[in-house]
Structure 1
Amino acid sequence: MINRRWIRKALSGLAIAVICLSFSTTCSKEILTNNWYVELDGDGGIEAAREVSKRTGFNLVGPLLGSSNEFHFVHSAVPNIRSKRSIVHTRKLKAHPLVKRAIQQTGYIRTKRGFKPLKGIPVSEIKLNSPELEKLIDVNIQSHQPNDPLFKKEWYLKNTGQSGGIPGLDLNVEAAWALGYTGKNVTTAIMDDGVDYLHEDLRHNYNAKASYDFSSNDPYPYPRYTDTWFNSHGTRCAGEVAAARDNNVCGVGVAYDSKVAGLRMLDQPFMTDLIEANAMGHMPNDIDIYSASWGPTDDGKTVDGPRNMTMRAIVKGVNEGRHGLGNIYVWASGDGGADDDCNCDGYAASMWTVSINSATNDGQTAGYDESCSSTLASTFSNGKSTLRDAGVATTDLYNNCTTTHSGTSAAAPEAAGVYALALEANPMLTWRDIQHLTVLTSKRNRLSDPYMKHHWKYNGAGLEFNHLFGYGVLDAGAMVDLARKWKPLPERFHCTAGSVKQETHFATEQPIELHIDTDACKGGENEINYLEHVQAFVTIKSTYRGNIVMFITSPMNTTSMILSQRPNDNDHKNGFTRWPFMTTHTWAENPRGRWKLEISMAPDKTGNVDTGVFYEWTLILHGTKEAPYDHQVEDEANHNKLYKVKRLHAYSKA
Structure 2
Amino acid sequence: GVMPPYAEECACMHGVTVSSGGGRWIVTTDWRQLGGTGCTSSHGGTSAAAPLAAGMIALMLSARPCLSWRDVQHILVLTAEKVDKQIGHYTRNGAGLFHSHKHGFGMLTAWRMVQAAKTWKSVPPAEYTKSESLLEFSKLPPNQTVYLYYDNSASASDSSPAILEHVKVYVNIQHPARGQLIISLYSPSGTHSVLATVRPFDKATTGLSWTFATIRCWGETPYGEWKLAVNNTSNQPGLIQNWRLTLVTTSISPKDYAKRIRRVRDIVTGKVAAPLQAQSCPKSAPLFTADGSSEGAPFGATPVGKLVGWLHRLPLIFN
Q: TM-score range by the shorter chain?
A: 0.7 to 0.9
Q: Do the aligned residues in 1 keep the contact of 2:89 with 2:100 (CA within 8 Å)?
A: yes
In structure 2, how many angstroms separate the alpha carbons of the residues matched to 1:632 and 1:640? Answer: 12
| Cα distance, 1:520–1:379 mapped onto 2, change above 3 Å | farther
Deviations 1:135-182 (A, max 9, x none): xxxxxxxxxxxxxxxxxxxxxxxxxxxxxxxxxxxxxxxxxxxxxxxx
Q: Do the aligned residues in 1 keep the contact of 2:176 with 2:236 (CA within 8 Å)?
A: yes
Q: Which among 464, 478, 485 is matched to residue 112 of structure 2? A: 478
Q: Do the aligned residues in 1 keep the contact of 2:90 with 2:99 (CA within 8 Å)?
A: yes
Identity percentage over the alignment? 35
- For 1:214-613, list aligned pairs within 5 A: 363-385=1-23, 390-399=24-33, 400-444=38-82, 446-448=83-85, 452=87, 455-519=89-153, 521-522=155-156, 529-573=162-206, 575-577=207-209, 579-603=210-234, 609-613=235-239
CA positional deviation for 1:630: 3.3
Match of 1:640 in 2: 266
Deviations 1:422-441 (A, max 9, x none): 11010000010010001000
CA positional deviation for 1:491: 2.4
Matching residue's letter, 1:509 = N
Q: Do the aligned residues in 2 keep the contact of 1:375 with 1:470 (CA within 8 Å)?
A: yes
In structure 2, how many angstroms separate the alpha carbons of the residues matched to 1:412 and 1:476? Answer: 14
Matching residue's letter, 1:576 = L
In structure 2, how many angstroms separate the alpha carbons of the residues matched to 1:497 and 1:523? Answer: 17
**Which structure has the larger Rg over C-alpha atoms?**
1
In structure 2, how many angstroms separate the alpha carbons of the residues matched to 1:637 and 1:543? Answer: 51
CA positional deviation for 1:632: 9.7
Q: Do the aligned residues in 2 keep the contact of 1:497 with 1:520 (CA within 8 Å)?
A: no
| Cα distance, 1:629–1:401 mapped onto 2, change above 3 Å | farther
In structure 2, how many angstroms separate the alpha carbons of the residues matched to 1:551 and 1:411? Answer: 28
Q: Secondary structure at the match of 1:437?
A: helix
Deviations 1:304-332 (A, max 9, x none): xxxxxxxxxxxxxxxxxxxxxxxxxxxxx
Match of 1:622 in 2: 248
CA positional deviation for 1:494: 1.1
CA positional deviation for 1:628: 7.6
In structure 2, how many angstroms separate the alpha carbons of the residues matched to 1:623 and 1:381? Answer: 32
Matching residue's letter, 2:102 = L
Matching residue's letter, 1:411 = A
| Cα distance, 1:540–1:491 mapped onto 2, change above 3 Å | same
Matching residue's letter, 1:549 = I
CA positional deviation for 1:505: 1.7
| Cα distance, 1:508–1:405 mapped onto 2, change above 3 Å | farther
Q: Secondary structure at the match of 1:380?
A: coil
Segments ≥4 residues shifted beyond 4 Å: 631-634, 636-639
| Cα distance, 1:394–1:642 mapped onto 2, change above 3 Å | closer
- For 1:160-175, list aligned pairs within 5 A: none
Matching residue's letter, 1:618 = R
CA positional deviation for 1:639: 7.4
Question: Where in structure 1 are there 5+ consecutive unaligned residues?
Answer: 1-362, 604-608, 647-654
Q: Secondary structure at the match of 1:533?
A: strand
Q: Do the aligned residues in 2 keep the contact of 1:490 with 1:628 (CA within 8 Å)?
A: no
| Cα distance, 1:520–1:409 mapped onto 2, change above 3 Å | farther
Q: Secondary structure at the match of 1:540?
A: strand
CA positional deviation for 1:631: 8.2
CA positional deviation for 1:376: 1.0
Q: Secondary structure at the match of 1:617?
A: strand
TM-score scaled to structure 2, two decimals?
A: 0.76
CA positional deviation for 1:528: 5.9
CA positional deviation for 1:507: 3.3
Q: Do the aligned residues in 2 keep the contact of 1:520 with 1:591 (CA within 8 Å)?
A: no
| Cα distance, 1:507–1:406 mapped onto 2, change above 3 Å | farther
Matching residue's letter, 1:535 = K
- For 1:13-24, list aligned pairs within 5 A: none
CA positional deviation for 1:490: 1.8
| Cα distance, 1:508–1:395 mapped onto 2, change above 3 Å | farther
CA positional deviation for 1:641: 2.6
CA positional deviation for 1:524: 11
Structure number with the bigger relative contact order (C-alpha 8 A, sep ≥ 6) is 2
Matching residue's letter, 1:402 = T
| Cα distance, 1:393–1:373 mapped onto 2, change above 3 Å | same
TM-score scaled to structure 1, two decimals?
A: 0.38
Q: Do the aligned residues in 1 keep the contact of 2:172 with 2:240 (CA within 8 Å)?
A: yes
CA positional deviation for 1:394: 1.1
Aligned residue pairs: how many? 265
In structure 1, how many angstroms separate the alpha carbons of the residues matched to 2:254 and 2:113? Answer: 17
CA positional deviation for 1:554: 0.5
Q: Do the aligned residues in 1 keep the contact of 2:187 with 2:226 (CA within 8 Å)?
A: yes
Q: Do the aligned residues in 2 keep the contact of 1:371 with 1:467 (CA within 8 Å)?
A: yes
In structure 1, how many angstroms separate the alpha carbons of the residues matched to 2:118 and 2:223? Answer: 33
Q: Secondary structure at the match of 1:377?
A: coil
| Cα distance, 1:508–1:572 mapped onto 2, change above 3 Å | same
CA positional deviation for 1:580: 1.4
